Amino acid sequence: MNNIQSTILQKAPIFYDEFERKAGTQLKTTHYCPGCGHGILHKLVAEALVDFGVIDKTVFLSPVGCSVFAYYYFQTGNIQSAHGRNPAVGTGYKRANPDSIVISYQGDGDLAAIGGNNILQAANRGENITVFFVNNATYGMTGGQMAPTTLIGQKSTTTPRGRTVQNEGYPLKMSEIISTLEAPVYVERVMLTNPKNITKARKAVRKAIKNQIDNKGFSFVEVLSACPTGWKKTPQESKGWITDVMEKYFPVGLKKDVSEEREPTIVKRWKAKYDDFHKLLDIKSLNSLPDVPKIPKTQNISEEIKIAGFGGQGVLSLGYVLANIGMGHNYEVSWLPSYGPEMRGGTANCSVKISDDRIGAPIISNPTTLIALNKPSLDKFENDVVAGGNIIYDSGLIDTPPKRTDVNIYPIKATEIADKLGSTKAANMVLFGIYAELTGYLSKEYIEWGVNHIINKKKFNELNINALHKGFESGQKHKN
């Protein structure tokens, strides 16, 4: 008796004790169907991360698909990406945090259909991330539509008579495709059918993660995985179907391994220097210049400004300058341009948010101020302005004033004024001036200084300042 050794089997400590998928529901089990391969693969990945001691620096990227809920299970960093976008998200995360371990977990719809190009580009760049590709030959989550890996003859809800080459083409062999690229370091296909094959899968999972830990580059493990629900088979039949049918088209085994030859590398990517930012966007760095005017204390504001007109009217640059000046005043800002395909004459608008609080999204549905430089823009956005908000419009170009009675309306012949000053191009600065005067939360002295520094074209400095002044004056008249 004394010689008997016992092993206590337990859940890998990287999993939460209980899974709270809905408030108040403390579950011990995952949401996966009986016989689903996702659960087995979760276990293999979890155990490897624990054994390598990298839980604290791992970020698990959940896809859109049945495994979307992985963040309820893995006690790691988690990001839930848009459909197919794990490789792009993982690229960003890993480049910003080269010491992290990034696991991109993806289904065949996610990786090979909507995210097909995303994965190819990340693999081709040789991002140092680990990708687990769950090939179950179907879209499990949405009820069994055809996936790029659905086999010829296989029935799905979108190929009820079975996939045909003539209609849907051949199933994509992602491991073979990726292994033809130069950059990837390791590509293997495994299957989750019996203990022997699961042991092989376990090895592949570990190798792919270890490669990343060793900075060897991009590793990709494709896992032939059962979807009994989608396949309308029992779990037992599903395992048989993988070995008897699926594996014939998707042979398991090593497709590429150059991990021994590859030197560990942390690729040195271009990183912006402080001065580059200065040149790009960040007026805040200009605030260290000796001649910076005094910046007033920030107020409680949440300005949502929509500026709209034709391309060439300076719509986007007005928004850009305004956002930068707001940033210079220590507000949170966002600037979102939107324009038609034409360089000139097409419609253009931009959304600028300026707030003392953090900004969740740059999109504006209901502006607090609309600055309209042409009639189509006024027509389009007039009704969106919040009650009590402002509409500033170029009354020299728009002959039909806004009809709203519950907003403040400020006509100004901005283009005409700018013309008289020397160039219609400065109309946007006239509009900036009136906006600043009417709202009053930005320093006029700082605006003048900021405009000169941001636009940074000496020959326009005087014109812009004169245009701003005309705007200030008009705003004052409206206020009185």
Ligand X SMILES: Cc1ncc(C[n+]2csc(CCOP(=O)(O)OP(=O)(O)O)c2C)c(N)n1
192 versus 352: smaller Cβ distance to ligand SF4: 192
113 versus 414: smaller Cβ distance to ligand X: 113
461's tokens: 């400095």
**Closest approach of ligand X to the CB of residue 338, in Å:** 21
What is d(CA 90, CA 102) in angstroms, rounded to the nearest whole number? 6
134 phi, psi to nearest 5 deg:
-90, 105
What is d(CA 334, CA 359) in angstroms, rounded to the nearest whole number? 7
x/- track of binding to ligand X for residues 100-139 (CB under 6 A): -------xxxx---x-------------------x-x-xx
Helix (H) or strand (E) holding 179: helix 174-179
247's tokens: 């594996």
Q: Is 33 in the site for ligand SF4 (CB under 6 A)?
A: yes
- For tokens 């016992």, the residue is 6
**Closest approach of ligand X to the CB of residue 74, in Å:** 16
| Selected binder of ligand SF4 within 228, 314, 402, 450 (CB under 6 A) | 228
Q: Is 140 in the site for ligand X (CB under 6 A)?
A: yes
Q: What is the dihedral of CA 69, 73, 77, 80, to 10 degrees?
A: 0
Residue 460 sits at the vertex; the CA angle it makes with 459 and 462, to the nearest 5 degrees, is: 95
Categorise residue 49: left if φ over 0, alpha if ψ from -120 to 50, beta otherwise: alpha
Q: Is 69 in the site for ligand SF4 (CB under 6 A)?
A: no
**Closest approach of ligand SF4 to the CB of residue 79, in Å:** 21
Identify which of 82, 95, 78 has the alpha carbon closest to the alpha carbon of residue 42.
78
| Selected binder of ligand SF4 within 36, 204, 325, 372 (CB under 6 A) | 36
Q: Is 142 in the site for ligand X (CB under 6 A)?
A: yes
6 versus 29: smaller Cβ distance to ligand X: 29
Q: Is 154 in the site for ligand SF4 (CB under 6 A)?
A: no
User: Which residues make Cβ contacts (< 8 Å) with residue 446, sequence separation at least 6?
Assistant: 292, 293, 294, 295, 325, 328, 329
What is d(CA 320, CA 328) in angstroms, rounded to the nearest whole number? 12
Q: Which residues pair with 305 in a beta bridge?
A: 352, 369
Q: Is 106 in the site for ligand SF4 (CB under 6 A)?
A: no
71's tokens: 């963040």
CA 311 distance to own-chain centroid:
27
Q: Is 14 in the site for ligand SF4 (CB under 6 A)?
A: no
147 versus 427: smaller Cβ distance to ligand X: 147
| Selected binder of ligand X within 64, 226, 348, 364 (CB under 6 A) | 64
46 versus 426: smaller Cβ distance to ligand SF4: 46
Q: Is 227 in the site for ligand SF4 (CB under 6 A)?
A: yes
User: Which residues make Cβ contacts (< 8 Å) with residue 120, sequence separation at least 6?
Assistant: 177, 178, 181
228 versus 314: smaller Cβ distance to ligand SF4: 228
**Closest approach of ligand SF4 to the CB of residue 141, in Å:** 6
- Footprint of ligand X on this chain (CB under 6 A)? 64-67, 83, 107-110, 114, 134, 136, 138-142, 147
- Footprint of ligand SF4 on this chain (CB under 6 A)? 32-33, 36, 38, 66, 136, 140-141, 227-230
